[in-house]
Amino acid sequence: MFGMSIFMNEELSEETKTYVKRMSDIGFSGIFTSMHIPEDDAKKYASRLKVLGQLAKENKLDLMIDISGEALEKAGFSMEKPTQLKELGVTGLRMDYAISNEKIAHLSQKLKISLNASTITEKDLIELKEFNADFSNLEAWHNYYPRPETGLSDAFFKEKNQWLKSQGFTIEAFIPGNNQLRGPLYEQLPTLESQRYKNPFASALEMLAMKNVDLIYLGDGGITEKTFEQFKMWQEEKTILLHVKEEKTDYFSNVLGEHVNRMDAAQLVIRSANARFKKIPPVFPQNTIERKKGSVTLDNEKYLRYEGEIQICKTDLPQDDKVNVVGKICCKDLPLVDLIKGGDKFYLKRGGCHGKSEFRKSSH
């Protein structure tokens, strides 16, 4: 379901190898890399692909490489010898637009082949059938878009994916990373323009909610530690981790920890299902300010039998003397508030925003 991108314009560092191992340990199942390379780096890419292939095999990961025939030849490989690539640990090839459907059909008999999801047409499918392509080995992978303003629209993405699903394709798309961003622009690598600069975990859950996306890969070369924790908790416990900034009250610690949104999900707030049944000290009115979206609130004694109820605001709400604002969801986690449905588990953890200030630019 989830995968990562590892780029080979530098030697694979121990840090990168550790990153791959950690992501594999929490259930990431694949690596994407590119063989579109400058001519003077060709020999370096050949040795680096061998190292990356071995890393993929050691961690039992799929390895999809974006290729053109010319790039492979410069690196000392050939599309005429797919077994050579398989032995290195390569499990699939993402095809350049210049490669013919006849060649794609031939290669599909040997390897998993990724077609450009955004540009494939009915005519392509007819030709691939004529050339006896193995459709069980064909997948549809969208691009990522390094330049701001050029990513796909949500509407086009959904419409295209509906058609691809009707044709039986497994569909892949990229979400942005927020660490080790790829140059030269360092503007993140999403498929959807609406997800550029978004928390990668929130982007992943949005993709899952779209239903038609089967494989979700990080476009950039890394994620921050806070984002890693969110993926880990989701993979292991199906729990949405939210980082919360404390407001000055005596009650912040009362809201931290595990929660479940009530099955009868409210329209305007997320309601912790068991909050009012916990034993808590009396809650006196404090910080009863306007409740902005993402405010974490605790009902005080003025709310009578609702005293102790914990909520997260899904929209801006007015000030209420009966409701204390004890924390605020960090800015990069705010999109997650909209994704918590009835019965979903979530966890509130003390922490500030993991925003652009944490993005470390890198040529990886």
What is the three-state SS of 300-364?
A: CHHHHHHCCCEEEECCCECCCCCEEEEEEECHHHHHHHCCCCCCCEEEEEECCCCCHHHCCECCC
List, in sequence order, every residue forming a beta bridge with 312; answer none if it has no partner. Answer: 270, 296
DSSP state of 158: H
Matching residue, tokens 């809201």: 255
How far is Cα 286 from Cα 333, in angstroms, rounded to an integer? 25
- pLDDT above 50 (res 359): no
- Residue 354: its pLDDT value, please? 59
Judge if pTM exceeds 0.85: yes
Strand partners, 62: 30
Predicted confidence at residue 43, as pLDDT, reads 73
Give me the mean pLDDT over the 25-39 stretch: 86
Question: How much is the average pLDDT of 291-310?
Answer: 96
d(CA 209, CA 132): 34
pLDDT at residue 36 tops 80: no
pLDDT of residue 278: 78
Which whole-number Å values give the CA distances from 184 to 147, 191, 358, in the listed order?
Answer: 10, 18, 18
Q: Each residue of 311-352: pLDDT tens digit?
A: 999 999 999 999 999 999 999 999 999 999 999 999 999 987
pLDDT digits (tens, 9 = 90+) for 173-193: 999 999 999 989 999 999 999
137 DSSP 8-state letter: G
Q: What is the pLDDT of residues 93-121, one digit of tens each?
A: 998 777 899 999 999 999 999 999 999 99
When pLDDT is averaged across residues 299-317 and rounded to a whole number, the result is: 96
pLDDT at residue 69, as a whole number: 65
Task: Write the DSSP symbol of residue 95.
Answer: E
Q: What is the pLDDT of residue 361?
A: 38
The answer to whether residues 251 and 336 touch, using CB atoms and an 8 Å cutoff, is no
- For residue 200, whether the previous peptide bond is cis, meaning omega lies within 30 degrees of 0, is no
Instruction: Kindly tell me if the per-residue pLDDT of 360 is higher than 70.
Output: no
Distance separating alpha carbons of residues 68 and 115, to the nearest angstrom: 13
Label residue 172 by pLDDT band (50, 70, 90): very high
Q: pLDDT tens-digit profile of 122-168?
A: 999 999 999 999 999 999 999 999 999 999 999 999 999 999 999 99
- How far apart CA 166 and CA 159 sit, in angstroms, is 11
Q: How far apart are CA 209 and CA 217, in angstroms?
A: 15
5-21: per-residue pLDDT in tens? 999 888 999 999 999 99
Question: Is pLDDT of 364 > 60?
Answer: no
Task: Return the pLDDT at 275.
Answer: 82
Q: What is the mean pLDDT of the chain?
A: 92
Q: For position 68, what pLDDT does the model report?
A: 73
pLDDT tens-digit readout, 225-255: 999 999 999 999 999 999 999 999 999 999 9
Band (pLDDT 50/70/90 cuts) for residue 82 is: confident
Token look-up 């059909």 returns 105
